[in-house]
Amino acid sequence: MTTNSSPQLWLYDTTLRDGTQREGLSVSIEDKLRIARRLDQLGIPFIEGGWPGANPKDVQFFWQLQEDPLKQAEIVAFCSTRRPNSTAATEPMLQDILAAGTRWVTIFGKSWDLHVTTSLKTTLEENLAMIRDTIEYLRSQGRRIIYDAEHWFDGYKHNRDYALQTLEAAIASGAEWLVLCDTNGGTLPHEISQIVQDVVKVTGELGTGDWELGTRKDSSQSPIPNPQSPIPQIGIHTHNDSEMAVANAIAAVMAGAKMVQGTINGYGERCGNANLCSLIPNLQLKLGYSCITEDQLTQLTEASRFVSEVVNLAPDEHAPFVGLSAFAHKGGIHVSAVERNPLTYEHIQPEQVGNHRRIVISEQSGLSNVLAKARSFGIDLDQQKAEAKQILQRLKDLESEGFQFEAAEASFALLMHEALGGRQKFFEVKGFQVHCDLIEGKETSNALATVKLAVDGKNILEAAEGNGPVAALDAALRKALVNFYPQIATFDLTDYKVRILNGHTGTAAKTRVLVESGNGRQRWTTVGVSTNILEASYQAVVEGLEYGLLLHSQTEAALKAPS
C-alpha cells in the first residue's frame, strides 16, 4: 500500500507506438483514441501517441487530441534525431513533431557505436552532433525532451566511454529525462542494476531532484518535472526477448531509475515490452512506490481486458495479476486452504488489482472445490449430504469420459442443479437432423437443420439454414424457441472450439466441443463430448441456450424480489 510519503515513480506508456509494432496487431485512429483515454483514466502520467508524420493515422491522432485533450496525462510525440550531415531546423520530420502540438517530445538516438557506423553510416562525432542539434532545436521551440538512449546497454557493454558521451550530449542540450533502453532485450537483471547504478553515479545524484506537479493550460494537473532542476532523471525501457523485461525494469528502479516505460499487456515487437500490468502492482504493492492511486489500481484488470478487446487479441488468461487464472485454484488442498485463509495461496488480494478469486472444477477437485463453486452459483450445498459427494463423483466420471468443466462452468452449474433436482426444463429436444450440400466449384457449403422441440407440452418443428451444420442447428433451435423466450434474440454464440481427445483412432475419435455464449453483459461456456462431432456440438449449443435462459430467469426473479 502506498502512502503520501511513498517515493514517486513516473509511468510512461508506449502501447500506442511500440505496442502496435507487435506482429498481428493493428489499430485505427478511433482505437488509439479509446486506448489513450482509458490510460488517462488509469492515471498513466505520460502516454506516447506515436510518430507524427510517419503515417496519416498518427497525424490525425495528435490533431484530434489537440481538439479534445486528455484529462491528466501528457501525450508525447516520438521521433528520432535528425539525419546525418543535415540540420535540425531544416529537418522535415521535426516540423511534423512540432505540428503535433505536444509539450513533451521523446527523441531517440544511437548509444551503440556499432549502430552509428553500420546503421547510420556516419561518424561517432556526427552522431553526438545529431543528438545535440535535435534536442537544442526542439528546446528552442518550447518543447520538453525525454531522450531515449536506444541500444543503451549493448552500447555500454561494447564501448562504455562513447555510450556515456551520448548521454552527456543529451544532458548538455537540455534533455530532462535520460531513458536507458534494452532495445534487443538481451540484458540480465544483474547487468541492468550495475549499469544503471554507474549511470546514476556518473550523471549526478539523480534521486534527490526536486519534482512537483505542473499545471496545464486547461488548469488540470499533470505530472512534469520541476524545470528548475538542472539534473535529468533516469528512466528504463526494456524488451522481453529474454523473458526479463519486468525483472529488468524493477532492477533499474531499485538502482535509481525514476521513470518506467512499458505497454499494457506487454505488447510490442518480437517478444514484447515490459508489461505495465505486472510492473505497476509489483512496484506499488510490493516495493511501496507511488505510481497511480489505489482506486486506479483496482481498474488495472479491466483496463488490461479493455485494451485487448480494442486491439482484437484474446486476453492472456494466465497473465499475472490481471489474467482470468491469476487467482484460480484447482487442487482440492489449495481450495480448502484458501477458503480458510487466502494468504495460504495468494500473494496479494485479487481485488487490489480489480481481479477476483476463482475456484476451478476438474477431476483433480475435492469436495472443497464443489462446495466453493456451488456458492459462487448461489447454491448452498451441505458437505454432509449425499448430493455433494454425488456431484463430485459425477464430475470425476464425466471428466474421465473427456468432459472438461474447468473451461465450461455453465455446464457444471447445470449438472449441480440436476443433481439437486432443481434443473429447470425450459425446453426438451425430441430430435434433430442436419443436411449439408457441397456444390462443386463453390467455396462454401450450405447446411439445413431441422429440430423437433417440446415447450410446455407443445411440440414445435422448425428448420433453418446456415453456412455450416453447427450454424444451421443453432439457428433452428433459436428460431423454434424465440417465440417462447424472446430474450434468446440477445444471445450470441461468441466462440466455438473443437478438441480431438484420442487422435490415434482417426475419424472415430472422441471429440470435445466448447461453446462460449453471451448476452452482451455476461459470457458463459458449455461443453459436449461425443464420437460424433455434431452430437457434441448439439450438447454444448443446447446447454448454452439453457444456461442463458437460467441466467435470465434468475435476473428476473431478483428484480421482482422485495427489497
pLDDT for the residue 207: 34
Q: How far is CA 225 from CA 33, 74, 327, 508, in A?
A: 26, 12, 38, 68
Does residue 234 sit in helix, strand or coil? Answer: strand
Cell of 127: 552522431
pLDDT for the residue 414: 86
Residue range(s) occupied by CATH 3.30.160.270 in the chain: 428-560
Minimal CA–CA distance to 491: which of 448, 442, 543?
Answer: 543
Question: CA 85 from chain center: how many Å?
Answer: 42
| Beta strand extents in 85-210 (DSSP E only) | 104-110, 144-150, 177-182
Element (H, E) at 511: strand 511-518
Element (H, E) at 431: strand 428-437
- Angle between the N-to-C axes of helices 300-310 and 29-42, in degrees from 0 to 180, rounded to the nearest 10: 180
- Residue 287 CA to residue 200 CA, distance in Å, equals 20
User: Where does 285-381 have alpha helices with state H?
Assistant: 294-297, 300-310, 332-340, 367-376
The neighbour count for residue 67, using CB atoms within 10 Å, is: 6
pLDDT for the residue 420: 82
pLDDT averaged over 10-residue windows placed end to end, the chain, 563 residues: 74 97 93 96 97 91 95 96 96 96 97 95 97 97 97 97 95 95 97 96 56 34 45 93 98 97 97 98 97 96 92 89 87 74 89 87 67 75 76 77 76 83 89 82 77 92 90 93 93 86 70 88 88 90 92 80 66
**% helix, strand, coil for the chain, step of 5:** 45, 20, 35
pLDDT for the residue 200: 92
Torsion of CA 467, 473, 476, 480, to 10 degrees: -160
Question: What architecture does CATH give domain 10-292?
Answer: Alpha-Beta Barrel (3.20)
Minimal CA–CA distance to 476: which of 409, 430, 533?
Answer: 430
* Strands lying side by side in the sheet with 523-530: 492-500, 511-518, 523-530
The neighbour count for residue 444, using CB atoms within 10 Å, is: 9
pLDDT for the residue 386: 79
Does residue 70 sit in helix, strand or coil? Answer: coil
Domain 428-560 is classified in which CATH homologous superfamily?
Alpha-isopropylmalate synthase LeuA, regulatory domain (3.30.160.270)
CB 143 within 8 A of CB 73: no
Element (H, E) at 495: strand 492-500
- Residue 81 CA to residue 405 CA, distance in Å, equals 55
pLDDT for the residue 441: 60
Cβ neighbours for 124, distance < 8 A, ≥ 6 positions apart: 113, 116, 117, 162
Cell of 115: 549502430
- Residue 530 CA to residue 527 CA, distance in Å, equals 10
Give Dmax (Cα) for the chain: 89
Residue range(s) occupied by CATH 3.20.20.70 in the chain: 10-292
Question: CA 368 from chain center: how many Å?
Answer: 31
Cell of 531: 464420437
Bridge partners for 47 per DSSP: 13, 75
CB 547 within 8 A of CB 413: yes
pLDDT for the residue 224: 46
